Chains A and B, each alone.
Chain A
Amino acid sequence: MGSSVGDAAAPPLPPPPVGLAVALPPKAEDKSERKVDYLNLPCPVPFEEIQREALMSLKPELFEGLRFDFTKGLNQKFSLSHSVFMGSVEVPSPSSGAIKVPTAHYEFGANFLDPKLMLIGRVLTDGRLNARVKCDLTDNLTLKINAQLTNEPHFSQGMFNFDYKSKDFRAQYQMGNNAFYGANYIQSVTPNLSLGSEVFWLGHQRKSGIGFAARYNTDKMVATAQVASTGIVALSYVQKVSEKVSLASDFMYNSMTRDVISSFGYDYILRQCRLRGKLDSNGCVAAFLEERLNMGVNFILSAEIDHQKKDYKFGFGMTVGE
């Protein structure tokens, strides 16, 4: 009885699609009508990687001089690397900004990569040692250790990080030498927006600081903002124009030193090359090209022209091995 009444009241079925409607994709309006499930939000990016798209596009490793890197895999998990650099390095000096120091060094490195454990070590001819350890203690807890040891006294640094990753938040606790303690927390608030905050304490200088960060990302763009009590405001915006092309822009203001810098750059990831270029508000133009000549052989060109300071830096190099 009830069912016949129900059938009579049911709306007529839409006609089956004909012609072009079969070939074209269905209308996208059903995406916006999907209800947001606030209990199933995606896991946010780690707090220190909140600006990673902008950093990848806008901060290539520009260098001046010759660079040669050779990576040799001994087996699936273990590889060695040899790296030669001959050129100028900018050393910040208190008197006149940065000064260029001609440098030449050879760096030997060993990498052990396992799904649960990663060990990376690098040692340079001037006696510096870099070590990085990343260990998955459990599915959700990761331990990271970073150390830079030098011959000069009081210049060595070490840092322990404990990262906890949960369904829709991440938390990190850091301990470093010089009595540095820090913690940060980032939470997904909506499927596109995540908010985070960090605190740190420098024991020897009795200084503490707090910072807040927000990240909004969709398929096409990522926008981030970071504010810290050290007086730093950092904003960034990345637009993914296509699979191969990204445009990025960032803005940083330091209210303690009254320094402000903004840059706009592009990142073209093509099959045979990766080209990144940027333009600065300080009148600096830079470009970085990695060209794949052969399987595992990359040719690198780096250029940075600072019109204001009349500083021209060009570098070239080669990378062999993955």
Chain B
Amino acid sequence: MAPASSMEKIKEFLNSQIYDDDKWAVNSKLLGAAGLFAGSILFMRNFGDLMAI
């Protein structure tokens, strides 16, 4: 079971990050925070005028 191709290596890496409980706890926090940051930037740039007085 030698992971020869790079696609398999990527899949192996992703599986190890998602299915491992400890790593997933950290990664889900990271994804949530990054999602909040990116989502808030998109909101500010596109709908920021809605919050103007």
Binding site for B on A (CB under 8 A): 221, 235, 237, 239, 241-242, 244-245, 247, 249-251, 253, 258, 260-264, 266, 268, 270, 279, 281
- The verdict on B52 contacting chain A, using a C-beta distance below 8 Å, is yes
CA distance A268 to B52 in the complex (A): 9
Q: Please give, as numbers and ranges, the residues of chain A lying within 8 Å of B51 by CB-CB distance.
A: 241, 245, 247, 266
A-B contact pairs, 7 of them (CB 8 A): A242-B53, A245-B53, A249-B36, A251-B33, A258-B26, A262-B37, A281-B36
Q: Determine whether B49 belongs to the interface, using a CB cutoff of 8 Å to chain A.
A: yes
Interface string of B10-51 (1 = CB under 8 A from A): 000000000000000010011011101100110011001101
Considering the complex, give the chain B residue whose CB is closest to the CB of A242: B52
Q: How far apart sit A260 and B25, CA to CA, in the bound complex (Å)? A: 12
A269–chain B nearest beta-carbon distance, Å:
10
Given A237-B37, A258-B26, 7 more A-B residue pairs with CB atoms under 8 Å apart are A245-B51, A247-B40, A249-B37, A249-B44, A260-B26, A262-B36, A264-B40
Across chains A and B, the number of contacting residue pairs, with CB separation under 8 Å, is 61
The answer to whether A281 and B53 touch across the interface, beta carbons within 8 angstroms, is: no
Residues of B contacting A266 in the complex (Cβ-Cβ under 8 angstroms): 51
B5, chain A: closest CB distance, angstroms? 29
Contact B33 A261 (CB under 8 A): yes
Q: A262-B33, A262-B36, A281-B33 are in contact. Are A237 and B53 (CB under 8 A)?
A: no
**A contact face: mostly helix, strand, loop, or mixed:** strand
B: interface residue count bin: 10 to 19
Residues of B within 8 A of A (CB): 26, 29-30, 32-34, 36-37, 40-41, 44-45, 48-49, 51-53
Contact A262 B45 (CB under 8 A): no
B44 touches A247 (CB 8 A): yes
Q: Are A247 and B53 in contact (CB under 8 A)?
A: no
Complex contacts, A263 vs chain B, CB 8 Å = 36
* Residue in A241, A250, A253, A268 with the greatest tally of chain B CB atoms within 10 Å: A241
Q: Which residues of B contact A221 (CB under 8 A)?
A: 45
Determine the distance from Cα of A251 to Cα of B32 in the docked complex, in whole angstroms.
Answer: 11
CB of B37, distance to nearest CB on chain A (Å) = 4
User: Which chain A residue shows the least CB distance to B44?
Assistant: A239
CB distance from A165 to the nearest CB of B (A): 31
Kindly state the separation between the CA atoms of A253 and B44 in the bound complex, as whole angstroms: 22
Report the minimal beta-carbon distance from B36 to chain A, rounded to whole angstroms.
5
> Given the complex, which residues of B lie within 8 Å of A249, measured CB to CB?
36-37, 40-41, 44
Contacts of B52 in A (CB 8 A): 241-242, 244-245
Contacts of B32 in A (CB 8 A): 262, 281
Q: Which residue of B lies closest to A265 (CB)?
A: B40
Instruction: List residues of chain B with CB within 8 A of the CB of A239.
Output: 44-45, 48
Q: Please measure, in the bound complex, the distance between the C-alpha atom of A241 and the C-alpha atom of B43, giving whole angstroms.
A: 12
Residues of B within 8 A of A261 (CB): 33
Given A247-B48, A249-B37, A260 contacting B53 (CB threshold 8 A): no
Docked CA distance A201–B28 (Å): 34
CB distance from B34 to the nearest CB of A (A): 7
Q: B30 and A235: CB pair below 8 A?
A: no
* C-alpha spacing A263/B41, complex, angstroms: 11
Expressed in whole angstroms, the Cα–Cα distance for A250 and B29 within the complex equals: 15
* Contact of B49 with A241 in the complex, beta carbons under 8 Å: yes
